Every structure is written in structure tokens, then in C-alpha cells.
Amino acid sequence: MPTPPDPSVLYPEVAACGSLAAALRAEADGCLVAVPVTSPDFAPLCQAAVETLLPHRRPLAISAWSHERRWSIRGEEPFQSVPLIDGTTDDLAQVAKAARAWHDGAPLETIRQVAPFVHLTGRFEVPDNDPARLTQSEWQGMRLEAAELEYAWQETYHNLIETAHAEPALRALYPFTSHWALRFSTTTRPGLTIAGPCLSANSDGTYGVGTGFISQDLGQFATAQEAVAVAVRQLPTGLGPTMRGG
């Protein structure tokens, strides 16, 4: 990969302001005057954070791309450190609008209306960190992510997520994924407690079930329904409601 250009070359107006925080204020047409916006000393032209009035939101993180003129945002909730919103744009004024709405505590859908580049991850806000609601939020985010994927076996993976979600015994557990594998926990992030088998969506359109990570030692199946049925039968008995992790 070629060496990225100096940030001052990609972002001359940011360099002229001295920091991304200052450039955001300049682009905001006054809407960030009273809003705390900072850039770190180690990367003043490339990073910024915008504070929020809501305790169940982290400061909005803004970062500049290194090889292309573009900015990314990420708005997380603090308990699990998972994103509620993200997005990329080449319009810094749009970033400023999203930042002000995030700071003011605007609903997530309103933030997207204010700044259309904003992408909603599907998760919803759970101010009290109720584990049942956090579990519902994570399932909602996972289902949206699976529906939006554009990989070759997206349909296989999407079918797996939807079929697992339709099964009450699995839907009650906290889901998490890695490498097209779906696993379950009896606790939410940040402290997961694995329960039950691992389900995987394979590149050939089949589905695997295993006792370990993508082991498929419990079988490989032609349909998601078959794989999920096996997974349910392998769940430990006596699983209670999902608990708060960490």
C-alpha cells in the first residue's frame, strides 16, 4: 500500500484551522459554538470528539481517512462500546450537523434526517442497560447488518440470522458473531458467557453446527432450519434470563 499523503495535503482547510475540531466549528455555521469539541495532540488534523448531553452516549468520534478525502463518524453507547450510528462523507458541514444533533440528544432517526449520510446500525438506546433490552437491541443490529451485507454468501448468512432469531430459545440469548459464525451468551457485553453451540454459514450455501468455534462437529446441513433445530437441542438446560455482563 502506498504511503498516505500528509493530512495537510488532503485537508488543507483543516490544516489552516490548526485542528479538525477547529475546522468543524468553522464549517458548522455557528451551531457548535457552545458545544465541547476537541482534537487530540497526537493527531489534531485527523481526529475529533464531540461531547454529548446524554450519559448513555459516548462523545461522537470523528476521523479523517488517510488515503482519500473523507470523514467517518462513530457514535457509541458506553456500557457495551457498540455503535448506534456510523457513516462516511466528504462533506464536513454534514459532519457538523450530525455532531450537533448527537450532542443535543436528538433521537437516532432524527440525526439521520438532519445528516442523511448517517447510517443507523439497527441498535437502539437502552439508557438503563436492561439486559433484556440490550439483547433485543443486539439482535436488531445483527439482523440489519446481515440484510445489508454484499458478500457472495450474504443470503446464506442472512437466512441463518433470521432463522435463529425466529427460535424463542435462541432469541432470548445474547447473540454475537465472528467469521460468519453465530454464537450465544447468557450475559451481554462487555462480559460474554458462551452458552450452547456455534452456528456457521458456509460459502457453499450449507450450515454448520459445532461445539467449538466453527468446528461443525455436530453436523453440516442444507438448510438453516435444520441447523438451528440441532443448536436448540444442544442448549444447556436451566438457562435463565440473560444477565448484564461486565
* pLDDT at position 150: 84
Peptide bond into 131 cis (omega under 30): no
Domain boundaries of the chain, sorted by first residue: 7-120, 131-233
* pLDDT at position 62: 98
**Identity of the residue numbered 18:** G
* pLDDT at position 195: 94
**Identity of the residue numbered 66:** S
* pLDDT at position 1: 65
Contact between 201 and 160 under an 8 Å Cβ cutoff? The reply is yes
Q: Which residues contact 130 (CB under 8 A, 6 or more apart)?
A: none
**Can you tell me the distance from the alpha carbon of 222 to that of 168, in angstroms, rounded to the nearest whole number?**
22
pTM for the full predicted model: 0.94
The single residue listed with the C-alpha cell 459464525 is 181
Q: What is the mean pLDDT of each run of 10 residues along the chain (246 residues)?
A: 87 97 94 95 98 98 97 98 98 97 98 98 98 98 94 88 97 91 96 95 94 89 98 93 92
* pLDDT at position 3: 86
DSSP letter for each residue of the chain: -PPPPPHHHH-HHHHHHTSHHHHHHHHTTTTTTTS-EE--TTSTTTEEEE--S-TTSPPEEEEE-SSSS-EEEEEE-TTT--EEEEEEES-HHHHHHHHHHHHHT--HHHHHHHSTT-EE-S----TT--HHHHHHHHHHHHHHHHHH--STTHHHHHHHHHHHHHSHHHHTSEEEEETTEEEEESB-TTS--B-S-EEEE-TTS-EEEESSTT--TTEEESSHHHHHHHHHHTSPTT--S-B---
